[in-house]
A and B are shown apart, each in its own frame.
Chain A
Amino acid sequence: MSNRAFAAGMLGILSLALFLRVPRLGLRPMHHDEANQALKFGALLELGEYRYDRTDHHGPSLYYLSLPFAWAAGAAGLEDLNEAALRRVPVAFSLALLLLLALIGKELGRPAVLGAALLWAVSPAVVYYSRFYIQESLFLFFVLGTMIWGWRYFSRPTLAGAAVCGLSAGMTFATKETCVIVFAALLGAALLVRLGYRGIRPEFGSELRMTGMHLGVFIGSAGAVAVALYSSFFRHLPGVADSVRSYFTYLERAGEPSWHAHPWFYYLKLLAFSRYGRGPVWSEALVLGLALVGIVSAFRPGRRERITSFVRFVLFYTLISTFIFSLISYKTPWNLLPFYLGVVILAGAGAAYLIERAPRPGGKAVVAVLLAAGVFHLAWQSQRSNVHYYADPRNPYVYSHTSTDFMRMVRRIQDLASLHPRGRDLLIKVVADPYSTWPLPWYLRSFSHVGYWQEAAEAGAFAGVPLVVASPEQLARLSPELGDDYQIEYYGLRPEVLVALCIEDSLWEAFLKTRKGTLPKVPP
């Protein structure tokens, strides 16, 4: 394939990826986790404060790498940012991953790279989570970087290769704790490939002699970025030790997954076929099927060894990581992405192999048209996932997501504040457990007097408090305090999770005056 054709293909794929990722980034309400990340980033942006939390929120890279995006947007604080501005960070890394894929033309073959890039661009799972302000997009970018430079070092060890691979591995470590699974899978895959070639081509991999110098450079470059980030650039050194201690927390969580426990086949089923109630069918079976063809292609005789060995490396990585992620009963759908990255690369190899093997000229055209139809179906599902079912529980990738109804409460609070003499300085008391609170702190970031309590008894007096947000459980305890002086409205936070907005009577009366003249909407 000519350089021009490859570049044109990549450009087209990037445009398609942009089209599926960028529009309406602010449409979906903030997920609980996104709002958590956003508030933590807010502290870094506004106060320069970041402390690694070994019990939650993963690594520091998301926050530090969000800074240039915020500065470019001219934001001095969280108030200057909106959902779309934050979500541009993962979108950018998702697009950058496509550029990384373009670098493995030699290892995978250019047609296969185009196939993998196209599938990555349109995959519903990938597109949906690339629009999430969480670590996944960044993590995948660094995982692919480690995979590429790890493989290159494995194939031809150089000092520069060790340094780049170390940097990439360090950033992977500084992004998410599940990196240990990825590292284990990559190392295991490299060893299996080498084992497979022993006796066939003794010279392959025989150069792999990781000298002390190389090892030092690898550890040095990985350690440098990891220590810098985890220590908040040397202002909080315990963060480095915590980055290791966190594995005890995550190990414990994996063993006690509580409500995130799912069977071993959860991820595979999610990708192959999902349907909830009377909702639409979702499937990425095409990618799984093409990946199987890609696996077959890696073991067919007469193929270029450089390509088959890389495909086998990706295959072993995928098998090991899929096995480990499936074995851990703590599962959230975005955790399928690290192994799905391998599946997509294999699928790209499979698509290229199918076209290559199809008889000329009609056969190739038929295969290409069928694949194009499949890609269109995936892209259509992605669009449906992000435009129509973006917060609908019938979308398999919607997980513990904030209901669109919650946004009604946010708008109500904003409307009420505009009527209050203190405006956004009015006092709001939120009395609910954290699971019934988030993502409210994100949406109330421009309100100056908001307090959060988990128990009604701790929240002090309520006389004259204009707005109270409470979980139904806490509302029952607050009732004697609130008396008959409040109008109460219920809103859906997530399925089965309601929150009550209590509006002090005088504010409510002021609001009702604005509703005068409402025309009847009753259908005949």
Chain B
Amino acid sequence: MRKQSLLSVLALLILILNAQGWNADAGDVLQEKEELKLELPKPMFVGTPRNIRSPNLERITGKKRGPFYVPAGTILLSAGKPVKASDMEPIIGEVEFLTDGEKSGEDGYYVEFGPGIQWVQIDLGESIPLHAILIWHFHSQARVYRDVIVQVSTDPDFISGVTTVFNNDHDNSAGLGVGKDKEYIETNEGRLIDPHGISARYIRLYSQGNTSNDMNHYVEVEVFGTPVK
């Protein structure tokens, strides 16, 4: 036992001395600092990639959305409701496409607005507690829409009583404030936004181009809530 204790003390002494020596070495090394040369792999050369011109090929994200729970009695409120837009003369389609119930990704079912930031606005007719907003910008191609901002309000001009329920304008390029929500890839599931039961009559959605082109598109927007009886 005593022998073991002596050995332990000896080992400790050696360790301390070594450590001191190492520190002295480290000090010398620090004096002669040099840049760590990183050996980084080079890109691999490959031939011409696939040419994709037609829509509706493959999805990039495969996971299905999980269940989303809303209060009992929640119904679709936006069907057939009037729509206003920052540009009432879209390049393709009609603003009414937003609430016509058609969600196909094919040509003839989406409305296209010009470049830059554009908005569309749905009038529910009365102020109603909202529990879900579902957006399809353009789901026949994997793409990401930029500066998606969703606001709800009781004011048609969105001057007062405005609540932002979604904002992924992370660099404030739309100028409505920095958003903390993430960008997402369009799928046929649409993007579900939770308005947390806020009562509002008007829903305004902004966007500013996408990863495929500078245009802004909507196939459909659905707003769900519990009508006041």
Contacts and interface: CB of A to CB of B under 8 A. Distances in A.
Interface string A70-110: 00000000000000000000000000000000000000000
A473 B60 contact: yes
Interface in B45-96: 45-53, 57-58, 60-61, 86-87, 92
Interface of B: 38, 40-53, 57-58, 60-61, 86-87, 92, 107, 116-119, 141-144, 170-176, 178, 182-183, 185, 206, 208, 210-213
Contact of B174 (A277, A393, A522): A522
A238 interface: no
Given A399-B51, A491-B211, A427 B38 contact: yes
Contacts of A451: 38, 40-41
Contact of A494 (B43, B49, B61, B118): B49
A399 B49 CA distance: 9
A437 B43 contact: yes
A405 B146 CA distance: 11
B58 A496 contact: yes
A270 B122 CA distance: 43
Contact of B53 (A32, A276, A438, A454): A276
A332 interface: yes
Interface in A509-524: 511-512, 515, 518-524
A40 B47 CA distance: 13
B171 A512 contact: yes
15 contacts: A33-B48, A259-B50, A434-B46, A441-B43, A451-B40, A452-B40, A454-B44, A489-B170, A491-B211, A492-B211, A496-B57, A497-B52, A522-B119, A522-B174, A523-B117
A519 B211 contact: no
B107 A490 contact: no
Given A435-B49, A452-B44, A520 B175 contact: yes
A397 to B, nearest CB: 11
A494 B144 CA distance: 12
Interface in A410-456: 427, 430, 434-435, 437-438, 440-441, 449-454
A425 B116 CA distance: 34
Contact of A498 (B41, B87, B116, B143): B143
Nearest to A393: B53
Contacts of B44: 434, 437, 452, 454
Interface string A383-400: 000000000110000011
Nearest to A508: B170
Interface of A: 32-33, 36, 39-40, 53, 56-57, 259-260, 276-278, 332, 392-393, 399-400, 403, 405, 427, 430, 434-435, 437-438, 440-441, 449-454, 472-473, 476, 487-492, 494-498, 511-512, 515, 518-524
A400 B175 contact: no
Contact of A495 (B53, B117, B172, B182): B53
Q: Which of B46, B142, B143 has the most chain A CB within a 10 Å cutoff?
A: B46
A523 B114 CA distance: 12
Given A492-B143, A498-B142, A434 B183 contact: no
A523 B46 contact: no
A521 B60 contact: no
A523 B86 contact: yes
Contact of A518 (B53, B172, B208, B210): B172
A259 B48 CA distance: 10
Given A492-B211, A521-B116, A430 B43 contact: yes
Given A405-B211, A454-B44, A472-B60, A490 B183 contact: yes
A158 B43 CA distance: 49
B185 A490 contact: yes
Contacts of A453: 41
A523 B211 contact: no
B37 to A, nearest CB: 10
A297 B116 CA distance: 55
B38 A495 contact: no
Contacts of B58: 496
Nearest to B38: A449
Contacts of B40: 449-452
B172 A400 contact: no
Given A36-B45, A434-B45, 5 more contacts: A487-B170, A488-B182, A496-B57, A521-B116, A522-B119
Contacts of B174: 520-522
A492 B212 contact: yes
A491 B208 CA distance: 13
Nearest to A405: B211
A346 to B, nearest CB: 29
Given A452-B43, A520-B176, A511 B171 contact: yes
B103 to A, nearest CB: 20
B159 to A, nearest CB: 11
Contact of A522 (B141, B142, B175): B175
